[in-house]
Chains A and B, each alone.
Chain A
Amino acid sequence: MNKTDVIIIGAGPIGLFAVHQLGIKGLKAVVIDNLDKAGGQCIELYPDKPIYDIPAVPECTGKELTDRLQVQIKPFKTNFYFNERVEEVKSDKENWIVKTNKKNHFIAPNIIIAGGVGSFEPRRISLKDAAKFEGKSIFYSIKNKDDFKNKNICIFGGGDSALDWGLELSKFSNVTLIHRRKEFRGSEHTLNEINKLSKQGKIRIKTPFQLEKINGNKKIQSILIKDDNGKTEEINTDIILSFFGLVMKLGPIAEWGLNMDKKTISVNPYNFETNKKGIFAVGDICNYSGKLKLILSGFHEVALASVECFKRARPNEKYKFEFTTSSKTIQDRLGKK
């Protein structure tokens, strides 16, 4: 059991800034995120898109913002638990116990939920048989490419992941690329390579087709694909790889007994606490009258929530408001001389 002052769920920009606001108050935090790195939507959805409304930063990309926030919180040496999803939250006297899908346990008087629109998951194939093949014949990512040697593989999707894996796996497997329209989206170099392999017969391209049916019992034997005019074609295959990006799912958060409004958590606008004492929600996932889903609003929300976190984590100490410009204590915490 890891004991800390605050458990932060979500390593997006607001979760990262939470570390800062807690850190300068002398509070320790851990951060848990289902993705494999920090940044949340900034990294997954728009790493290269410029953001123009961060105060005093006229322009920066999602990636730049994430990088800078990580630099800003470096002094606090925070532990991040990536590729982990919080499954369960339960109370234990004045504390909350959080359990993740990797069986890690955390205990703290405060939880800050900075979960955005939920955790990112691969967009799964919607055919009802697809679930039973997942992890056996259907994959949404590749951990070890040796598992994909000397197979018949159908790859669905038209973006970088589909194309890059198509190129890679075609070196030792029989690859068919299937996409709903004729154009693929990738770098010129990748597209040229794909075209070359296609002409040499080393990779098969089927467009404009979509997956219609999966045949097989324990393993996939073949699939049926269909074009816009209803024409179908059967392809024998061992494996389906599907690259349709990520979706955001609220997941277990909905079952923690928090007051919800659609997919957001209701909070008060004074300290962003939910209906459960010591559980806060900030950023896109919280909801109060007048809420704006902006990064800068999240920064404000977490600053206020951190004060309440302090009061709960240090009930015997008086909270003292301080400026970073003048507080020796804060400057010490930031490692400034």
Chain B
Amino acid sequence: MAKVTYIDSHGNSKSIEVDNGLTVMEGAIQNNITGIDADCGGSMACATCHVYVEEKWLDKLVKPEDGEIDMIDMAFEPKKNSRLSCQIIVSDELDGLTVITPEKQS
């Protein structure tokens, strides 16, 4: 279990206890966090669960695979700390993780 904080582009934040093994995207969808669409349902095929990861957490995440980096190319305003939230799997080590959702997803 890890507490994940989702901050929207206006600065509103919500913290959710997400079970280990779920993705940061699933944590958002199951708890009605706005700003993450996840149109493809987590198959790394749409880039609408794009988030900016708080810098200090970037190195603690498993590195993105090529397919994810390619999809981030398609995302709305990607930055250096861009990730697809469907590829971040929650574990105890990620307790406190903070992600910022972009202004829009598409």
Contact = CB atoms under 8 A, between A and B. Distances in A.
Interface of A: 41, 45-46, 49, 117-118, 123, 126, 157-159, 179-181, 183, 185, 210, 228, 244-245, 247-249, 284, 293
Contact of A180 (B40, B47, B48, B73): B73
Given A185-B73, A247-B106, 11 more contacts: A41-B45, A45-B40, A117-B39, A117-B40, A118-B39, A126-B76, A126-B104, A245-B74, A247-B48, A248-B46, A284-B41
B30 interface: no
Size class of the B contact interface (CB-based, 8 Å): 20 to 34
A46 B78 contact: no
A199 B73 CA distance: 25
A123 B74 contact: yes
B77 interface: yes
A138 B41 CA distance: 30
11 contacts: A41-B45, A45-B43, A49-B43, A126-B76, A126-B77, A158-B73, A180-B73, A183-B69, A228-B80, A245-B74, A248-B39
Contact of B73 (A117, A159, A228, A247): A159
Contacts of B79: 228
A244 B46 CA distance: 11
A244 B40 CA distance: 16
B70 interface: yes
B88 to A, nearest CB: 20
A159 B70 contact: yes
A40 B106 CA distance: 19
A228 B81 CA distance: 11
Contacts of B73: 157-159, 179-181, 185, 244
B46 A45 contact: yes
B74 A41 contact: no
Contacts of A126: 76-77, 104
